[in-house]
């Protein structure tokens, strides 16, 4: 199919000039409206106003411009259907071979916090209809529905002298339907956020990157979204599926801590094998690494402060996959970039989704993120002995780590450092024994440390084992029908225990 006529009506004019000039050079007749028409005229290129084609002006403040049989007939007419051709002749409707149209910036207007009236006016009617019509009739019509397609389209337009194959037309039609469905999803979510009229799973992200592979090399993997909103990659190899999962875990835990206090987390398979606060960034990193330097090997490191030269020198001694931090001193960055595969990310602070979902069986489950972070006001002392101020700080610290660790989990900590954790165990007792063994293997004394559990203790065995290991205070949700047995043991042995009433299962 060779393009002989085109309808062009776009919101964004960037990159349009070369397309217009090329179409004109190929003797394509151009129809247009409003601002696009004025733009084409400013280039000194002939253009037919849609109003002249339809004999109707734009009405209702521009809400109705292209919605007319003489426009849609020329797009939807099937070239090999005799009755369609007869109708075109009878009603003097010219065929349209190419439609270049984009959509009003609904999402951009929404993100600006505009008024409802402004948002509603950015719901495109004519544009979305033109896109669907042209895409539906891909057998005879080519649709360009986004400025992001201009470069590719222009390259083909010049290379093929205005001729496009059926395969190419179907390719652009597929992209057009992706754009139109994404647009409708955004509008639905805006309305539904206010009315809750429909419980429905509707998510659409157009930006995508192909990953090297999925969780394992034999699995395909993709990331949908714009990672540049979250960080800039300053060095290293391409990010993998597992890298991204662990970076997400690192950011989630790191954000539990106040920005003005240096904090470091080290993540392996989404669990923290190190987490600490420090007087300096270097101290926070050294304390985090000390908790489990074996598991930390090849891990993901997240730090909430500027990476200085001293910290970079220490980091450079250890093998890790990814480092993410908000800033880097020049010398520090040069040091860290000395290894070409080491992934260095500079974090940006942006709004992250508050809902999460995953495929399950033959559908999808969706839930709010666990955004509850306990504070001292959430703690209910249930034992005769109350925790000291130092123990309260330690309990809250340990609880934050437990919240971000796979269940069943037990976390052992002091007020600024993860000492050890038991992760992803089928028994809470096994998780505790794992944590104690780890602490001992890396030379930590648990005398005076605290214990956090992501869920309640069904029996008193955990507090008994913890007490014998040196633990002096415990934080847990409570809620077991046998809570009193754990409370009694603590009272008999001088332990402090607090309930939060908040469970933090993580699967």
- What is the widest separation between alpha-carbon atoms in the chain? 98
Measured CA to CA, the distance from residue 357 to residue 276 in angstroms comes to 30
**147 assigned to active site:** no
Cβ pair 274, 266 in contact under 8 A: yes
CA 1, CA 361: separation in Å to the nearest integer? 45
| Cβ density class 407-426: b for 16+ within 10 Å, e for less | bbbbbbbbbbbbbbbbbbbe
Structure-token pair, residue 97? 């071979």
Q: Out of 29, 152, 269, 337, pick the active-site residue.
A: 269
Whose CA is closest to 227, among 214, 240, 213, 212?
240
Query: Which residues are CB-neighbours of 267 under 8 A, at least 6 positions away?
Result: 246, 249, 250, 253, 273, 299, 300, 301, 302
Residues paired with 273 in a beta bridge: none
Please calculate the CA angle 480-492-505 and round it to the nearest 5 degrees: 25
Given the residues 29, 122, 136, 337, select the one marked as catalytic: 136
Residues 6+ apart with CB under 8 A from 114: none
Q: Which residue reads 């299962």 in tokens?
A: 505
Say how far apart CA 446 and CA 453 lie, in whole Å.
16
The whole-angstrom separation of Cα 344 and Cα 333 is 9
Q: Among residues 285, 352, 360, which one has the least CA distance to residue 317?
A: 285
C-alpha span between 450 and 453 (Å, rounded): 10
Choose among 324, 313, 311, 209: nearest CA to 265: 324
Positive or negative torsion for Cα 467, 469, 475, 480: negative
CB 291 within 8 A of CB 312: no
- Cα–Cα distance measured from residue 317 to residue 252, given in angstroms and rounded to the nearest whole number: 26
Active site residue 182: no
Q: How many residues does the chain have?
A: 507
In Å, how far from its chain's centre is CA 276? 26
- What are 280's two structure tokens? 């300096």
Residues annotated catalytic, as ranges:
136, 269
């Amino acid at each position: 199919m060779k393009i002989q006529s085109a309808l062009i009506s776009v919101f964004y004019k960037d990159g349009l000039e070369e397309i217009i000039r090329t179409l004109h050079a190929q003797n394509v007749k151009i129809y247009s409206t409003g601002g696009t028409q004025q733009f084409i005229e400013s280039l000194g290129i002939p253009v037919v106003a849609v109003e002249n084609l339809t004999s109707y002006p734009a009405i209702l403040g521009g809400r109705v411009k292209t919605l007319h049989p003489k426009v849609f007939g020329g797009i939807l007419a099937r070239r090999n259907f005799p009755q369609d051709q007869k109708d075109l002749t009878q009603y003097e409707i010219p065929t349209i071979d190419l439609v270049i149209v984009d959509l009003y910036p609904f999402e951009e207007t929404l993100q600006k916090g505009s008024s409802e009236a402004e948002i509603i006016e950015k719901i495109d009617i004519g544009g979305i209809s033109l896109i669907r019509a042209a895409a539906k009739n891909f057998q005879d019509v080519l649709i360009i529905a986004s400025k992001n397609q201009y470069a590719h389209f222009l390259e083909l337009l010049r290379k093929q002298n205005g001729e496009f194959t059926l395969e190419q037309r179907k390719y652009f039609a597929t992209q057009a339907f992706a754009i139109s469905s994404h647009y409708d999803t955004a509008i639905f979510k805006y309305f539904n956020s206010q009315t809750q009229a429909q419980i429905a799973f509707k998510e659409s992200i157009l930006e995508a990157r192909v990953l090297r592979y999925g969780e394992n090399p034999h699995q395909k993997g993709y990331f949908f979204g714009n990672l540049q909103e979250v960080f800039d990659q300053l060095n290293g190899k391409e990010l993998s599926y597992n890298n991204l999962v662990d970076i997400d875990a690192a950011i989630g835990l790191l954000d539990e801590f106040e920005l003005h206090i240096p904090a470091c987390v080290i993540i392996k398979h989404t669990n923290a094998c190190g987490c600490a606060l420090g007087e300096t960034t270097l101290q926070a990193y050294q304390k985090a690494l000390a908790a489990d330097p074996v598991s930390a090997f090849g891990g993901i490191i997240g730090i909430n402060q500027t990476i200085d030269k001293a910290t970079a020198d220490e980091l450079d001694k250890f093998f890790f996959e990814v480092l993410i931090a908000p800033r880097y001193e020049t010398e520090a960055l040069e040091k860290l970039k000395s290894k070409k595969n080491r992934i260095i990310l500079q974090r940006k602070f942006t709004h992250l989704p508050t809902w999460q979902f995953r495929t399950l069986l033959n559908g999808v489950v969706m839930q709010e993120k666990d955004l509850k972070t306990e504070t001292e006001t959430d703690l209910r002392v249930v034992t005769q002995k109350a925790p000291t101020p130092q123990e309260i700080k330690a309990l809250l610290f340990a609880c934050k780590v437990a919240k971000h660790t796979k269940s069943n989990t037990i976390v052992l900590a002091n007020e600024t450092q993860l000492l050890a954790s038991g992760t992803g165990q089928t028994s809470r007792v096994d998780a505790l024994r794992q944590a104690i063994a780890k602490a001992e293997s890396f030379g930590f004394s648990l005398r005076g440390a605290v214990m956090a559990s992501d869920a309640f203790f069904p029996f008193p065995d955990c507090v008994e084992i913890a007490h014998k290991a040196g633990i002096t205070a415990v934080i847990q949700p409570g809620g077991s029908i046998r809570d009193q047995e754990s409370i009694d043991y603590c009272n008999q042995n001088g332990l402090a225990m607090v309930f939060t009433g908040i469970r933090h299962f993580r699967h």
